[in-house]
Structure 1
Amino acid sequence: MNHSGDVPTVSVEELPSGEDYVLLDVREPDEWAAGHAPSAVHIPLGDLPSRAGELSELADDRPVHVICRTGGRSARAVAWLNAAGVVDAVNVAGGMKTWQALGRPLVSDHADTSPEVL
């Protein structure tokens, strides 16, 4: 793990295996619907302040790895979550674009189309 400024960061390849962390996707609803990680939790970046309590309960002392399309929005989310003391958050560098490029599983909310990262 490295720290880009004050934001702890890991690559997609460095994500822990299993369920010992929460994967938080902060992309917009249309991006989420097109394709997301099967076990991810969706809270758009703009909704984080109003849903912070929900995230804190969901994390239950597990680290929260935050992902977006390429890493910019997730870095902002991590900075806010850590500064607010909501959860122990880590940015996922490369985001869902790297997730898809590495062949990690994707699911879509649209039954008639293959999942994709917008």
Structure 2
Amino acid sequence: MVQPSLPAEVPDVTPDSLSDEVYLLDVREHDEWDAGHAPHAHHIPMREIPARLAEVPTVGEVIVVCRVGGRSAQVAAYLAAQGWENVANLDGGMLAWEASGRPVVADTGLPARVL
């Protein structure tokens, strides 16, 4: 019997440990992104990741983020299992990002907020 493969282990990072040069991959849903996101983040909802793998860099640091860190941990593990060696999960997600004083922007013209 073939044993199922275990999810790939990926490191967790905190918002205050990030440089401005990281590729921040936001995997939240469209309504969450529209309400507020990190400036310069790249948006690929979690369910679209398999079809859009080519958009995720294989070099440079890729930090995956969602609201609190659960979905992003799954996506980071998925990417690692697909061969990405440069991924980490943002511990605490966008809630931790906002709480650490990092900026949140919205493209809608409304005040930005984390959903």
Same fold at TM > 0.5: yes
Structure 2: unaligned runs, 5 residues or longer: 1-7
* TM-score, normalised by the number of residues in structure 1: 0.85
Structure 2: which amino acid aligns with 1:11?
T
How far apart are the structure 2 equivalents of 1:81 and 1:49?
A: 9
Q: Does residue 38 of structure 1 match 2:39? A: yes
Q: Any stretches of 5+ residues in structure 1 without a counterpart?
A: none
Q: Map 1:1-118 onto structure 2 (within 5 A).
A: 6-15=9-18, 17-19=19-21, 21-55=22-56, 59=57, 61-86=59-84, 88-111=86-109, 113-118=110-115
Aligned length: 108
Whose radius of gyration is greater, 1 or 2?
Answer: 2
Q: Percent identity?
A: 49
Query: d(CA) in 2 for partners of 1:67 and 1:60?
Result: 17
Runs in 1 of length 4+ with deviation above 2 angstroms? Answer: none
RMSD of aligned Cα (Å): 1.4
Letter of the structure 2 residue corresponding to residue 18 of structure 1:
D
Q: Which has the higher strand share?
A: 1
Note if contact 1:52-1:86 (Cα within 8 Å) is conserved in structure 2.
no
